[in-house]
Structure 1
Amino acid sequence: MPRENSFSDSEGRSVTPDPEDEDFIISPASPNYSQRPPVINVLDRVKSRTSKRSMHSKVSRAHPSAATGPTRGWALLPPKEKFRAAVRKIMAIRRGTTFNSLGARIGAEPGVDPRRSSADATYGHIHRHCEIEIVDYSALRCITRKFTNEEFVDLMDQDSPEPVKRDPWVKVRWINIGGISWDVIKALAIKYDLHPLALEDVVKGNPRTRSKADYYTQHLFLRVLCHQLAEGEQNPGITGPERTTSPEPLEDEYDTPSPTEEKVDDERTQLGSSTSLRRRKNPVLPTSQKDVKFSSMSSAESPNSLAKLLMRESAAKAARETRQKEEASLKAVKHGERVEVDVSSMFLFLFRDGTVISLHPSTSLTFTAPISQRLRALDTVLRKSADPSLLIHAILDLIVDRALQVIDQYHANINQYEHDILLRPKMKTVRRLHILSGDLILHKRTLEPIKTLVYGLRRYDVDRCAALVDSSDPANAGVPIVGFMSHKSKIYLADVYDHMEYILSSLDMFAGIAENLIGYTFNIASYEMNEVMRRLTLATIIFLPMTVLTGYFGMNFVHFWSVNNNSDVFFWILALPILTLTVLVALFSDIKKLFYYLKKRAETKKIMNDSPFSRKF
């Protein structure tokens, strides 16, 4: 047993074990993941290479048999060295907390297993005060209960490994959760055995990801992007990672030891041969002041693996922060000149037993309030059918209806911009049209997968369920294939599909109108500029001959007829013919077009007068 004053890590293992209690501890295995490899004794992970060598030499000099015998050296260490080892262990764990809390590293294990302590360390900082509602209903009764985070976790933490029991009259159970909080998600995932890949989509949900439908053996998982008009700024309410939560330090099992360390590895291997688990040349976590000093060096010069990883993660984090600042700056520039649309993810789980789970990032359940009101009425299709797949349809239909409101707002803005441009084109209106055109392209990218999702639920539901059955297993021979969606829900999904067709066609139409209005505005501006230049050219043509003659007659001639007779008649005798000839030559094409226009107009008028239809009136 660990002593009362001993340190412990995040999994409850003693950092300073008693000499008689040094057996290896293995955490419970997850049903979805393979068992973790054996963990080396704490002392091996705490000490750096320098500290290990010095400590080993001290023990060897004091007790020659301790270094070579099968007995571990922990019991023979002086209290001062034990304390130093424990302190290094705690420091190493805390240095690794921030690194491990980043979670989404390249090459990481796919999926999230809530039974692992590392999941708590990675996602434990995601905490919100959720609004949770459980609705049990059938064709005759409907009961609604509300829970807080703690109450819901207590409900999920019942002793029975099976899902929460419900009354026999309950046909459908809807667990509606507003807000993403790790304590709630963890309890829910363990109780209902949510697939790790689906759970990863929930906790790492990116509002820009595509809507999709994933089929698993135990449930159907849907991720749908919700588009609704923004009502105000929302505080995400997710705090930063807690530094007090310490995940287990990383262990590298694939480093090849040097020949001088081969013997030490044989002595310090708890289970299996020396080649099954080997000590690292360099510790993953910094364990000494020297390692901390090296962490400020370049990755090529640093001997510590965690320092290299942290530097790469820091560079990636800095790039993400820079990108976020740029996006925030762009959003601030566009504020007030665009249709403010909130895009968030709705996560849906449909089970065979009639349980439906919905999760929405917003801590308020106002988004799904219309469905809750429909469930309270006896004469609705949801209540009469008591079909869980129809509840999924209702949520999808609600999401599409919210998107229709966004489309209507864009339609109103397009009409207003068209009115302003036809009345008087301005660059301010062109600026707004440019922003609107870009938003329409982005919304089309996020809305188009919803159409594919709805079509897949209607057309390929049974086929995808059949793909989950292992046909090579003789036990599955003759097993009937039943889809998650009922026949009635597929009929109603056709209406949702039609609405999505309208939304996408409207987006294309609005984008085309916006581009045409932008092009029209620049064409009008170009036309007006051409008209101005035409007027200036006409004025220049008219006054150019007179300017030339005026310059000639303004010379200081001594013998000149106009000067001697004090008359300008000679000037006009020259100016008027030259002016007339210049104007006729310069405007010959325009005069020709005017003559052609007058001729065609006269012919058209004559035909209209001679028409028998005009005589009747």
Structure 2
Amino acid sequence: MPRENSFSDSEGRSVTPDPEDEDFIISPASPNYSQRPPMINVHERAELDRVKSRTSKKSMHSKVSRAHPSAATGPTRGWALLPPKEKFRAAVRKIMAIRRGTTFNSLGARIGAEPGVDPRRASADATYGHIHRHCEIEIVDYSALRCISRKFTNEEFIDLMDQDSPEPVKRDPWVKVRWINIGGISWDVIKALAIKYDLHPLALEDVVKGNPRTRSKADYYTKHLFLRVLCHQLAEGEQNPGITGPERTTSPEPLEDEYDTRSPSEEKADEDRTRLGSPTSFRRRKNPVLPTSQKDVKFSNMSSAESPNSLSKLLMRESAAKAARETRQKEEASLKAVKHGERVEVDVSSMFLFLFRDGTVISLHPSTSLTFTAPISQRLRALDTVLRKSADPSLLIYAILDLIVDRALQVIDQYHANINQYEHDILLRPKMKTVRRLHILSGDLILHKRTLEPIKTLVYGLRRYDVDRCAALVDSSDPANAGIPIVGFMSHKSKIYLADVYDHMEYILSSLDMFAGIAENLIGYTFNIASYEMNEVMRRLTVVTIIFLPMTVLTGYFGMNFVDFWSVNNNSDVFFWILALPILGLTFLVVLFSDIEKLFYYLKKRSETKKIMNDSPFNRKF
């Protein structure tokens, strides 16, 4: 099978090696990544000589190749044939090759790559080995009568998940449900868990590549049910870190020029072996050729116009992707800084759940603390709870979903309190500061609705389509599967309790719609009030201007310079007021006639209302 995320150069050679094509590998069989060099036979001796030649930059007939003449007589270990210096140099080149190949795979060849994450492959260790945290792990074994809780560190948990044994971890006969609760995402823990319980590669990919903005979903597999649920809770202090960044913390530097001591004839022979392969290469996969020298870089640059996965294009693509990612992160950080202090701080993280038919439940949360699931642990210690009485693993899944929804209800209550406060402020005195907060709140509500609505669909699917999806896992075309009873992962009792979770999700989503509508109405009301106040100011200015317009006209008339001016020469200033006051009164009545009419109508209705209330029998004293 081709290696995950592998690709070839312009000559058709594999740029990323396979474990079976290497002379020594880092075996993924154990969680501590112990090295187990494989055995090589006589036909693979030529490949070992070629690797040593490329590693030591010497001729095929160097001292290293002549030091063990008995290598062609029988099987032996390739690692033991190398001297200490060559071992060190080969190990360094091997690690560099894996890191480069993984980086190119993750940045330049994502389209069309093999889906899922297989923890048994060395490429998975190279890609996700940097994800390491000190997890808080709790294993709770319980039944209706007993409950035992144990906590482990990373190393202790990996020792418990003994990968040399293919069977699951043994449990006592009285244990009905085993809950493995893991706080923190660490590759060593996930790898040990995935190999021990045979987690599906697609589900494992969702765990290690978890994004806080991905949709909640339920995936049905043959051996287990996988749930990914987004948890919303009010932030308390610093937010819990999550696996939200890029898959690799750093990328390897471009290859440097190296001095090649081989002769032209040796280089030509090495190229022929590289392109044509050894006699045994036709029955195996294509020879892995990683860029380990300046010549490989030049060859890749020359073929850049023909190969879309050449080294130069991959490096350019990596730089462009890195620059775009940094720009996006800066923009998000700037926007978050602007909104800080004027929004409801909500932590959004993913909860991963696995439900097995043997009663095992696995939960993983990005937070390295188990405070999120602490209420469920306390309920399991009490004898009179539904979880202990039923000892049903699907009810434990319900309890975790109910806890997630209850945390979301706290977020909704906080938004309700903020909406009430903003409405009070706007009705009392509208301000643009309140409008800005309403705008931020409205945008957050839209985002929360997009992330919370899939949880409702998930709960509905668990209640309605659990058996149907389990039936879809059975191959009906196989006669051996005829008559097999279909049993869902969720019990009948858990489906009854999930109805309560579904009702809570209905309330949450309807509340989000209501809050968004109220926020939009308050924003519209604020701008309408501002427009109304502006119209009132303009109306008052217009009324004042019209009222004093006659006096302005008369003032201009009497201020004219005429030689013979009867109204000025034969009269005093009293004549001005005799003309101005009647005209002012007439203009006042004409301009404010509609307002005066409204005033009389208001006074009339108020008087009638007051009279009716006084004559009402409810106001009579007995």
Whether these two folds match at TM > 0.5 is yes
By how many angstroms is 1:476 displaced? 0.7
Which stretch of the first structure deviates more once superposed, 601-610 or 425-434? 601-610
**How many Å apart are 1:178 and its aligned residue?**
0.1
Equivalences for residues 58-97 of structure 1 within 5 A: 95-96=100-101
Structure 2: which 5+ residue stretches go unaligned? 43-47
CA contact (8 A) 1:24 1:270 kept: no
CA gap of 1:76–1:190, structure 2 versus 1, over 3 A, is closer
- Offset from partner CA, 1:406-446 (integer Å, 9 cap, x none): 11111111111111111111111111111111111111111
Q: 2:426 aligns with which of 413, 417, 421?
A: 421
Using the TM superposition, name which of 80-89 and 203-212 deviates more. Answer: 80-89
Q: Residue 266 of structure 1 contacts residue 274 of structure 1 at CA under 8 Å; is this kept in 2?
A: no
Shift of 1:64: 22
User: Do the aligned partners of 2:147 and 2:380 also contact (CA within 8 Å) in 1?
Assistant: yes
Distance 2:211 2:198 in 1: 23
Provide closer, same or farther for how the CA distance between residues 11 and 33 of structure 1 changes in structure 2, counting only shifts above 3 A: farther
Q: How far 1:16 moved relative to its partner?
A: 18
Identity percentage of aligned residues: 96
Change beyond 3 A, Cα 1:433–1:603: same
SS at match of 1:20: helix
Change in 2 beyond 3 A, CA 1:434/1:277? farther
- CA, structure 1 residues 210+3, in 2 after alignment: closer, same or farther (shift >3 Å)? closer
CA distance in 1, matches of 2:609, 2:3: 110
- Give the TM-score, by structure 1 length: 0.79
Rounded Cα–Cα distance in structure 2 between residues aligned with 1:589 and 1:282:
96
* Equivalent-residue separation in structure 2 for 1:342 and 1:475 (angstroms): 49
Distance 1:71-1:461 versus aligned 2 partners, 3 A rule: closer
Of 285-294 and 520-529, the range deviating more from structure 2: 285-294
Q: C-alpha displacement at 1:256, in angstroms?
A: 30
Using the size of structure 2 for normalisation, the TM-score is 0.79
Q: Deviations over 1:222-251 (max 9, x none)?
A: 000000000022463879999999999999
Q: 1:94 to 1:140 in 2, by over 3 A?
A: closer
1:192 pairs with one of 197, 203, 226: 197
Q: Which residue pairs with 1:26 in the alignment?
A: 26
Shift of 1:524: 1.3
Question: Quick check: 474-483 or 20-29, which moved more?
Answer: 20-29
Q: Distance in 2 between matches of 1:247 and 1:305?
A: 16
Contact 1:224–1:346 (CA<8 Å) still a contact in 2? Answer: yes
CA RMSD of aligned residues (A): 8.0
**Alpha carbons of 1:293 and 1:394: their partners in 2 closer, same or farther (altered >3 Å)?**
same
* Range moving further from structure 2, 383-392 or 573-582: 573-582
In structure 2, relative to structure 1, the CA distance for the partners of 1:53 and 1:320 (3 Å cut) is same
Q: CA deviation at 1:159?
A: 3.0
Stretches of structure 1 that go unaligned for 5 or more consecutive residues are none
Q: 1:303 to 1:213 in 2, by over 3 A?
A: closer
Please say which of residues 511-520 and 296-305 is displaced more in the overlay.
Answer: 296-305
CA contact (8 A) 1:284 1:304 kept: no
Structure 1 position 447, deviation (Å): 0.7
Whether the aligned pair in 2 keeps the contact of 1:6 and 1:14 (CA below 8 Å) is yes
User: What are the Cα deviations for residues 337-378 of structure 1, in whole angstroms up to 9, with x where unaligned?
Assistant: 111000000000000000000000000000000000011111
Q: Evaluate the alpha carbon distance shift between residue 40 and residue 616 of structure 1 in structure 2; reply closer, same or farther with a 3 A threshold.
A: farther
Distance 1:607 1:504 in 2: 47
Question: 548, 563, 566: which one pairs with 2:571?
Answer: 566
Distance apart, 1:482 and its partner CA: 0.5
SS at match of 2:169: coil
Does the Cα contact within 8 Å between 1:16 and 1:82 map onto a contact in 2? no
In 1, are the aligned partners of 2:184 and 2:367 still within 8 Å (CA)?
yes
Matched residue of 1:236: which SS?
coil
Q: Is the 8 A contact 2:232 2:407 kept in 1?
A: yes
Tell me if structure 1 keeps the 8 A contact 2:462–2:490.
yes
Given that 2:301 and 2:311 are in contact with CA atoms closer than 8 Å, whether structure 1 keeps it comes out as no
| CA distance 1:213–1:297, change in 2 (3 Å) | same
Compute the displacement of 1:585 (Å): 3.4
Partner of 1:436: 441
1:13 aligns with 2:9: no
**Farther-moved stretch of structure 1 (6-15 vs 452-461):** 6-15
Distance change >3 Å, CA 394–CA 537, structure 1 → 2: same
Alpha-carbon contact 1:451-1:501 (below 8 Å) kept:
yes
Distance 1:477 1:180 in 2: 41
- Contact map agreement 2:274 2:289 (CA 8 A) in 1: no
Choose 214-223 or 556-565, whichever is displaced more.
Answer: 556-565
Distance in 2 (CA, whole Å) between partners of 1:190 and 1:589 is: 86
* Deviates further, 563-572 or 54-63: 54-63
**Aligned residues of 1:251 and 1:284 also touching (Cα < 8 A):** no
Q: Quick one: distance in 2 between partners of 1:224 and 1:56?
A: 60
Q: CA deviation at 1:6?
A: 26
Q: Specify the alignment match of 1:110 in structure 2.
A: 115
CA distance in 2, matches of 1:253, 1:410: 62
Contact 1:294 1:302 in 2 (8 A): no
Q: 1:203 to 1:570 in 2, by over 3 A?
A: same
Alignment partner, residue 463 of structure 2: 458
Deviation at 1:547, TM superposition (A): 1.6
CA contact (8 A) 2:138 2:149 kept: yes
Distance 1:165 1:417 in 2: 57
Structure 2 vs 1, CA of residues 472 and 591 (structure 1 numbering), >3 Å: closer, same or farther?
same
CA distance in 1, matches of 2:256, 2:282: 10
Q: Secondary structure at the match of 2:372?
A: coil
Q: CA deviation at 1:257?
A: 24
- Residues 282 and 304 in structure 1, CA contact (< 8 A), matched pair in contact too: no
552-561 or 161-170, larger mean C-alpha shift: 552-561
Counterpart CA distance in 2 for 1:141 and 1:33 is 37
Alpha-carbon shift at residue 313 of structure 1 (Å): 2.8
1:157 matched to 2:162? The reply is yes
1:289 Cα deviation after fit: 3.6
Stretch moving more, 598-607 or 304-313 = 598-607
1:294–1:304 contact (8 Å) kept in structure 2: no
Over residues 2-40 of structure 1, what are the superposed CA-to-partner deviations in whole Å (9 max), with x where a residue is unaligned?
999999999999999999999899999999999999999
Distance 1:44 1:202, change over 3 A: farther
What CA distance in whole angstroms lies between the structure 2 residues aligned with 1:60 and 1:142?
A: 62
Distance in structure 2 (CA, Å) of the matches to 1:155 and 1:140 = 25
SS in 2 for 1:507: helix
Matched position secondary structure for 1:47: helix
Q: How does 1:470-485 map to 2 (within 5 A)?
A: 470-485=475-490
1:102/1:151 CA distance change after superposition, 3 Å: farther
Q: Tell me, yes or no, if the aligned pair for 1:226 and 1:344 is still in contact at 8 Å.
A: yes
SS of 1:483's equivalent?
coil
Q: Is the 8 A contact 1:10 1:246 kept in 2?
A: no
State the Cα distance separating 1:190 from its structure 2 match.
Answer: 0.1
More off after superposition, 96-105 vs 455-464: 96-105
CA contact under 8 A between 2:32 and 2:188: conserved in structure 1? Answer: no
The question of whether the paired residues in 2 share the 8 Å contact of 1:130 and 1:179 is answered with yes
Paired residue secondary structure (1:296): helix
Question: Contact 1:123 / 1:182 at 8 angstroms: preserved in 2?
Answer: yes
Aligned length: 617
Q: Are the equivalent residues in 2 in contact too, given 1:230–1:342 (CA < 8 A)?
A: yes
Q: Secondary structure at the match of 2:58?
A: helix
- The range that moved more, 351-360 or 434-443, is 434-443
SS class of match (1:226): strand
Residues 325 and 8 from structure 1, CA distance in 2 versus in 1: closer, same or farther, beyond 3 angstroms?
A: closer
Pairing 1:597–2:602 present: yes
More divergent stretch after superposition (406-415 vs 94-103): 94-103
Deviation (angstroms), 1:301: 10
Asked whether the 8 Å contact 1:225–1:346 carries over to 2, the reply is yes
Verify the 8 A CA contact 2:178 2:359 in the aligned structure 1: yes
- 8 Å CA contact 1:137, 1:170 repeated in 2: yes
CA–CA distance in structure 2, aligned partners of residues 17 and 79 of structure 1: 23
Q: 1:38 to 1:175 in 2, by over 3 A?
A: closer
Pair 1:551-2:576 in alignment: no
- Note the C-alpha offset of 1:509: 1.0
Q: Is the 8 A contact 2:128 2:247 kept in 1?
A: no
Task: Give the distance between the partners of 2:166 and 2:70, measured in 1 at CA.
Answer: 51
Alpha-carbon deviation of 1:590?
Answer: 3.0
